Amino acid sequence: MANNILGNYNPLLSLFGNNNQFLSGLLGSSPIVPLIRSSNSSQSAGTDPNVVLISGLGQLLSSLNVFQDSLQQIYSPYAVNNSISGSSSNPSVASVSTAAGAQNGNYSVSVSQLAQAHSAVTAFTLPDTSSTAVGSGTLTIKTGSYAYTSPTSATSFTPSGSSATLSINNGTLSSIATAINGSGVGMVANIVQNASGNYQLQISAAQTGASNNFQILVSDNDGNNTDQNGLSRLAFDQTQAVGSGQNLTQTQAAQNANYLINGASGSNAGNSGISLGSSVSMDLLSTGSTNISVKLDLNGLNGQAQSLADAFNTLQGSLNALLVSGGLLSRDPIAKQLASSMNQQAAASYSNGSSLLVKLNQIGLNFQYPQQFGQMGSLSLSNNSLQSAYSGDSQGVANLLYTAARALNWLANSYASYGNGTIPQTLTALQKMQFSLQLRQSATPASNTIPANLSSLTVNQSGSIQLSAQQISALSLYAMVYSLGAPYAVSSQILNNGLGLSGNSGNGISTYA
């Protein structure tokens, strides 16, 4: 893409920009107009060494951009994360997830109990969900924890979450369920149908865990808040007796998940996201045992190593084509230095922590020096060597691969960066030089002359000739460029008379927007 932009670059046209259309017809006999028209054709002829160099560096810059894009995909967080994976020998018991930064490891897991949510159901049934009223009054729902003395009996309840008070007026199973679900108290109400076809209301805590219990206190309009009539049938306080304040039937006790990891006991309020190590977690699915293994994926690393070799060799092909005898950059020191730097980087030693893998050829990425001096070498991948290194130190293989990709990208960036890269800075200097050269060679006017159309324009002040603001802006820019090669007197006359800045004739050029 960089080559296309630079190949079509016309410094003179870029200077005038959108003003060219307003100069048309005004400066038809100007020596600058032929320059504008012939600028591209003179560049495409390729006879000017500067133009050849601009084209070659533009191609090289484009190749470096592609090279960098490929390298950045190798060590991106997404690629690093996908290079490591976990597996469970018994996936019905537990599954495993990994994230960026996960390390190799093996874990023996034994699950004795899954976490579950506190749940209870009405002791009564109704023939319908939305016609028969349960009762009227208020329900006060709290979440917290009980001090249990048995699975269904406690000495106290300690609120720890939110609470809600709901007004119920002749509430049915359906309307009461809707009120509970909309309370935001962290409870879930569902209507269930039993084997006989009648309906019950099931109320559960939204969160699992031993400390996520709930309490329902009732203020019944019939005056009795704990009996088995009216709205008080929904009372559920496990510090009270069953049938007298504890009127719902508990169907599931709140409990944590209990498990062993490599022999060490653990407990968790939920079944998901249980940490096994840095960036490794498991989800519990059932009781039982499983072995979890976390390791770098050989196929993933092999693909990334091949991508590095392919990116390097693609740049090599592009750069060497420019460096060959007769190539656009055959004598350019920047291109030669880039080839030398790439060769040195590919054969370099890298810091790799405690790993003994410090050179690319140790993981199967073998560097071949170029057959011709001054050109760029190539990389080839040996799958057997990579697999051998992986078997001994898979983490070292991955770290070296990512480190090398980063280093090559940084090297390329020192040449290609649009802020301070060597190539963009050189291109800018060459383009300025080319523009200045074109002005001197093609736009130098005859001594003490003014372009015919502009001269006529400055004399004719009868009012029949009027310029738009855009045309005056274009003429101003034209005068500035034209004056670069004109004597001071001519420059002054253009600026003063041509733009109506002096009172030579007493009439300025009239304008309209």
- Residue 183 belongs to some domain of the structure: yes
Top mean pLDDT of 258-262, 300-304, 505-509 is at 258-262
Q: Averaged over 355-367, what is the pLDDT?
A: 97
User: Which positions ≥6 away from 29 have C-beta within 8 Å?
Assistant: 451, 452, 453
Same domain, 289 and 394: no
Same domain, 303 and 290: no
CA torsion sign, 14 to 19 to 21 to 25? Answer: negative
Q: What are phi and psi of 151, to 5 degrees?
A: -60, -25
Of 70-79, 377-386, 435-444, 474-483, where does mean pLDDT reach its minimum?
474-483
Same domain, 139 and 242: yes
Alpha carbons 415 and 424: distance in angstroms, whole number: 8
Do the Cβ atoms of 35 and 12 come closer than 8 Å? yes
- Residue 366 belongs to some domain of the structure: yes
- More reliable by pLDDT, 361 or 32: 361
Boundary (domain end) residue, out of 195, 230, 252 = 252
Work out the number of other CB atoms within 10 angstroms of the CB of residue 348: 14
- Residue 433 belongs to some domain of the structure: no
- Residue 430 belongs to some domain of the structure: no
Same domain, 109 and 166: no
Query: Confidence band (pLDDT; 50, 70, 90) for 458?
Result: very low
- Residue 432 belongs to some domain of the structure: no
Domain total for the chain?
4
- Residues 112-130 as b/e (b if ≥16 CB within 10 A, e otherwise) read eebbbbbbbbbebbbeebe
What pLDDT does residue 78 have? 74
Same domain, 130 and 247: yes
Alpha carbons 450 and 60: distance in angstroms, whole number: 44
This prediction has a pTM of 0.59
Query: Confidence band (pLDDT; 50, 70, 90) for 436?
Result: confident
Is residue 2 over pLDDT 90? no
8: domain range? 1-45+445-513
Same domain, 320 and 418: yes
Average pLDDT, the chain: 83
Same domain, 240 and 353: no
Alpha carbons 62 and 58: distance in angstroms, whole number: 6
What pLDDT does residue 440 have? 67
- More reliable by pLDDT, 477 or 248: 248
Same domain, 453 and 486: yes
What pLDDT does residue 323 have? 96
Same domain, 263 and 223: no
- Residue 428 belongs to some domain of the structure: no
What pLDDT does residue 448 have? 43
Boundary (domain end) residue, out of 422, 457, 476 = 422
- Residue 182 belongs to some domain of the structure: yes
Is residue 513 over pLDDT 60? no
Is residue 505 over pLDDT 70? no
What pLDDT does residue 477 have? 54
Same domain, 244 and 267: no
Query: Confidence band (pLDDT; 50, 70, 90) for 17?
Result: very low
Q: What is the CA radius of gyration of the chain?
A: 41
Q: Which helix (H) or strand (E) holds 125?
A: none
Work out the number of other CB atoms within 10 angstroms of the CB of residue 191: 17
- Residue 54 belongs to some domain of the structure: no
Task: Give, to the nearest 10 degrees, the angle between helix 49-74 and helix 333-346.
Answer: 20
Same domain, 96 and 209: no
Same domain, 124 and 241: yes
